[in-house]
Amino acid sequence: MPADSAASDVVLRVALPLPLPRLFDYRAPATDPPSHGDVGRRVRVPFGPRELVGVVAGIGPADGTAPELRELHARLDPEPLFRGELLASLHWLARYSHAPLGEVLATALPAALRRGEPLPDTHAWAWRLTEAGVTAHAGMRQGRPRRFADLLQVAVRDEEALDDLLDDWRGAARTLAARGLAERIAVPASQLAPTPQPGPVPNDEQAQAIAAVAAGDGFAPALLDGVTGSGKTEVYLHAIADCLARGRQALVLVPEIGLTPQTLSRFRARLGVPVHALHSGLNDNERARVWTAAWRGEARVIVGTRSAVFTPLPDAGLIVIDEEHDGSYKQQDGIRYHARDFALVRAKALDVPLLLGSATPSLETLHNARAGRYAHLRLSRRAGKARPPPARVLDLRKRPLDNGLSRELLEAIDAALTAGGQVLVFRNRRGYAPVLLCHDCGWSAQCRRCDAPMTVHGGGRRLQCHHCGHRQAAPPACPDCAGLALQPQGVGTERLEETLAQRFGARVPVLRIDRGSTRGRDALQKHFDTLGDRPGILVGTQMLAKGHDLPGLTLVAVVGIDEGLFSADFRAAEKLAQLLIQVAGRAGRAERAGEVLLQTHHPDHPLLQTLIHGGYHAFVDSELEQRAAAGFPPFTHMALLRAEAKQADPPMAFLQRAKAILAEASATRARDDGESLVLHGPLPAPMARRAGLYRAQLPLSAQRRRDLHVALDRALPAIHALPEARRTRWSLDIDPVDL
């Protein structure tokens, strides 16, 4: 290496999106030597025959052992993209998830920026009348262009506001623009200020919660534990308005399914500032724009799904997590972060309040609240006039069933419809039937690539695997015995829809809502709009369970939950309890009283009894006791080493070796201070083969979080180096939620 100048001895340490736990050194041109101002900037660098985009993680003296030091190709940003709190929090995430910093930083960037594209313009687009337009306005004929001109006559309108004000305004805009009457202009987002509309007057409990959040200066985590319909969103809106009044930015995370155009327009209308949305419906450019607008401090309120937790917040004032128990906050591949947990880390580093809201808080969060680590704010009553619905169990044993529906349930549906109400029939299985069975020989249709039965669709004509997506036509005869007695077993949402339509379809609409019938962000609302406030039946999966206001709903019927009562996953009871409470919460949201009916073959099951007679908190009491006794989270800390391969042996062989290394690492630790790691397995995964891959796992747990991480830190270099590691695809999941 040439030693002609001192500057050439200082190199850039670059984090690259590679599965290698290290940084990579690069030279910078002598004309523009490395400086501390490079840290957090993106660079384009050569890597083997390729070129990669990375982020400068540090600068330092060249490591003399590097055989050849290459020069970076370009610096991409005039100033650091990552800095301050966000950079520090992402360093934390890399350590906590034992993942390479380069992969963590790449995960935190929107795809366009990850590819190295320049920071986008962040102005918003708005429309105004031209001078000719102002003159022509009064004489325009009635119609959509006229209504569009009416809106612009009052004020310059940004496109987001127009979306809320006028359906399909774009055609009208084009018409007027073509005639020179209106024009599209770029405006800074911060200049747009719709007039905030007042909300309902907070009730006592809401007022107390609002005051508690406002009083929390600096880092202050709070659980907003409020029954469905109790007005949690109102509390968020007040907290956000307060944050805006202090000149700060607010970040709101919502579950995948909760971020509807209705949620956004409610936020916009109430807050009187532009609300920036980040969700999976946006294209790469739009995502990069919102991220950058937040980075520039222009976006003041960001509402987004899981990955929005990586939004830069230079003026942070508040983080809100709605439905904090929701499973969609956990990333299930790549960097397996939990958005709620990472938000907690960020709120602490940013020194701002964190508001976690739910009608069914996770056991982790309730445990923290009960231990006094989070403030526990309660909304125990429904807001306005709505009353919580009574719930009743329908014992199915020895009762005749019509396609999974008991006579009692059908009568209750009939009565609810006759009284002019709407009915929700909840079944958490989409498709026609979960299994296709040969009644002659017992054969059933299994997926060729998974250890799972194929689900019957299309009234019995098609088969589909819900785990790998494989589809095929249903066989005309049994492949084993050639018999013609193939029968769909059990009921899914399609079959329920068919049965209910046969019975009630002539009287009322019957609509099915699941991933098969309802794609896209607006589809769900379109279904609700179709129904309006007429009597009718909605049949659906958990898509229906979340957050939607259905004022006309008076009966919720839950069918086929018995599978969930006997699952091996220690979190199954928690998930089922949350789902039942959330579904039940859809009924009686407005003036009309509601009722919840639960059909089951296990009416005495403790989970159902506790939920019905004691409610969610009684369930939580008994469940936390059981978790403590069994040594499960939140009383212990878990990680899961997963491995998969095309053959069955390599994953198990790898995990056996990894287990030995981990045992060694924790034994060393045990000698230090008597603590150690508990290793179970390795075991085949609950679905041992999926999409053609054999899967196995090694669960690790420890009383103290630190012991888990210390053992992993010690063991992982040796695990990476195992020859077996190259014959399997493996990953580490800290705080796994699906075992």
Binding stretches for ligand ADP (CB under 6 A): 200-203, 206, 226, 228-234, 383-384, 549
3-class DSSP state of 143: coil
Q: Give min distance, CB of 304 to ligand ADP, in A.
A: 17
Question: Is there a contact between 417 and 508 (Cβ–Cβ < 8 Å)?
Answer: yes
> In the structure encoding, which two tokens stand for residue 461, read together?
């004509």
Among residues 237 and 693, whose Cβ is nearest to Zn ion?
Answer: 693
Side-chain-side CA neighbours of 523 within 13 Å: the count stands at: 15
582 binds, among ligand ADP, Zn ion, none (CB under 5 to 8 A by kind): none
Q: ∠618-575-488 over CA atoms, to 5°?
A: 125
351 binds Zn ion (CB under 5 A): no
H or E segment to which residue 44 belongs? strand 42-47
Q: From residue 472 to residue 511, what is the string marking binding to Zn ion with x (rule CB under 5 A)?
A: ------x-xx-x----------------------------
444 binds Zn ion (CB under 5 A): no
Among residues 422 and 464, whose Cβ is nearest to Zn ion?
Answer: 464
Relative to beta strand 124-129, strand 301-304 is unpaired
Of 557, 548, 576, 518, whose CA–CA distance to 325 is shortest? 576
> In the structure encoding, which two tokens stand for residue 99, read together?
């993942």
How many beta carbons lie within 10 A of that of residue 476, not counting itself? 9
233 binds, among Zn ion, ligand ADP, none (CB under 5 to 8 A by kind): ligand ADP
Q: Give min distance, CB of 393 to ligand ADP, in A.
A: 25
438 binds Zn ion (CB under 5 A): yes
Q: Give min distance, CB of 234 to ligand ADP, in A.
A: 4
Among residues 451 and 675, whose Cβ is nearest to Zn ion?
Answer: 451
Q: Report the distance separating Cα 210 and Cα 223, nearest Å.
A: 12
Q: Give min distance, CB of 269 to Zn ion, in A.
A: 45
83 binds, among ligand ADP, Zn ion, none (CB under 5 to 8 A by kind): none
H or E segment to which residue 558 belongs? strand 553-558
Q: Report the distance separating Cα 476 and Cα 625, nearest Å.
A: 52
* Identity of residue 580: L
75 binds, among ligand ADP, Zn ion, none (CB under 5 to 8 A by kind): none
* 465 appears as a binding residue in the annotation: yes
Residue 625 sits at φ, ψ, to 5 deg, of -60, -45
For the chain, give percent helix, strand, coil, nearest 5: 35, 25, 40
232 binds, among Zn ion, ligand ADP, none (CB under 5 to 8 A by kind): ligand ADP
649 binds, among ligand ADP, Zn ion, none (CB under 5 to 8 A by kind): none
206 binds, among ligand ADP, Zn ion, none (CB under 5 to 8 A by kind): ligand ADP
440 binds Zn ion (CB under 5 A): yes
685 binds Zn ion (CB under 5 A): no
Q: Give min distance, CB of 646 to Zn ion, in A.
A: 15
Q: Which residue pairs from 396-404 have beta carbons closer than 8 angstroms and sit at least 24 positions apart in sequence?
A: 396/599, 396/600, 396/601, 397/601, 397/603, 402/499, 403/491, 403/495, 403/496, 403/498, 403/499, 404/490, 404/491, 404/495, 404/496, 404/499, 404/559, 404/560
443 binds, among Zn ion, ligand ADP, none (CB under 5 to 8 A by kind): Zn ion
Among residues 320 and 643, whose Cβ is nearest to ligand ADP?
Answer: 320
713 binds Zn ion (CB under 5 A): no
Q: Give min distance, CB of 386 to ligand ADP, in A.
A: 7
Q: Report the distance separating Cα 94 and Cα 702, nearest Å.
A: 20
Of 249, 343, 344, 314, whose CA–CA distance to 84 is shortest? 314
465 binds Zn ion (CB under 5 A): yes
Relative to beta strand 375-379, strand 455-457 is unpaired
441 binds Zn ion (CB under 5 A): yes
How many beta carbons lie within 10 A of that of residue 518, not counting itself? 19
> In the structure encoding, which two tokens stand for residue 533, read together?
């406030």
Among residues 205 and 498, whose Cβ is nearest to ligand ADP?
Answer: 205
Question: Is there a contact between 580 and 393 (Cβ–Cβ < 8 Å)?
Answer: no
Which residue in the set 82, 329, 443, 616 belongs to the binding site for Zn ion (CB under 5 A)?
Answer: 443
Q: Give min distance, CB of 543 to ligand ADP, in A.
A: 17
203 binds, among Zn ion, ligand ADP, none (CB under 5 to 8 A by kind): ligand ADP
Among residues 234 and 298, whose Cβ is nearest to ligand ADP?
Answer: 234
Among residues 209 and 293, whose Cβ is nearest to ligand ADP?
Answer: 209
* 243 appears as a binding residue in the annotation: no
229 binds, among Zn ion, ligand ADP, none (CB under 5 to 8 A by kind): ligand ADP
CB-based contacts of 540: which residues, under 8 Å, 6+ apart? 424, 425, 426, 427, 493, 512, 513, 514, 518
Question: Is there a contact between 702 and 711 (Cβ–Cβ < 8 Å)?
Answer: yes
Among residues 368 and 582, whose Cβ is nearest to ligand ADP?
Answer: 582
Per the document, the length of the chain is 739
Question: Is there a contact between 233 and 589 (Cβ–Cβ < 8 Å)?
Answer: no
Among residues 233 and 578, whose Cβ is nearest to ligand ADP?
Answer: 233
Among residues 104 and 224, whose Cβ is nearest to ligand ADP?
Answer: 224
Among residues 229 and 535, whose Cβ is nearest to ligand ADP?
Answer: 229
Q: Give min distance, CB of 467 to Zn ion, in A.
A: 5
Q: Report the distance separating Cα 176 and Cα 152, nearest Å.
A: 11
Among residues 209 and 573, whose Cβ is nearest to ligand ADP?
Answer: 209
481 binds, among Zn ion, ligand ADP, none (CB under 5 to 8 A by kind): Zn ion
Q: Give min distance, CB of 203 to ligand ADP, in A.
A: 4
Of 376, 340, 423, whose CA–CA distance to 597 is shortest? 423
Among residues 12 and 447, whose Cβ is nearest to Zn ion?
Answer: 447
Question: What angle do the packed helices 572-584 and 606-630 form, to 10 degrees?
Answer: 140
Query: Which ranges of 362-420 would DSSP assign to H, the alpha helix?
Result: 363-370, 407-418
Q: Give min distance, CB of 19 to ligand ADP, in A.
A: 41
* 441 appears as a binding residue in the annotation: yes
> In the structure encoding, which two tokens stand for residue 526, read together?
């379109």
Residues 60-89 that bind Zn ion (CB under 5 A): none
Q: Give min distance, CB of 692 to Zn ion, in A.
A: 8
Question: Is there a contact between 397 and 653 (Cβ–Cβ < 8 Å)?
Answer: no
235 binds Zn ion (CB under 5 A): no
Q: Report the distance separating Cα 529 and Cα 627, nearest Å.
A: 43
234 binds, among Zn ion, ligand ADP, none (CB under 5 to 8 A by kind): ligand ADP
Interface residues with Zn ion (CB under 5 A)? 438, 440-441, 443, 447, 449-450, 465, 467-468, 470, 478, 480-481, 483
Annotated binding site for Zn(2+): 438, 441, 447, 450, 465, 468, 478, 481
Annotated binding site: 438, 441, 447, 450, 465, 468, 478, 481
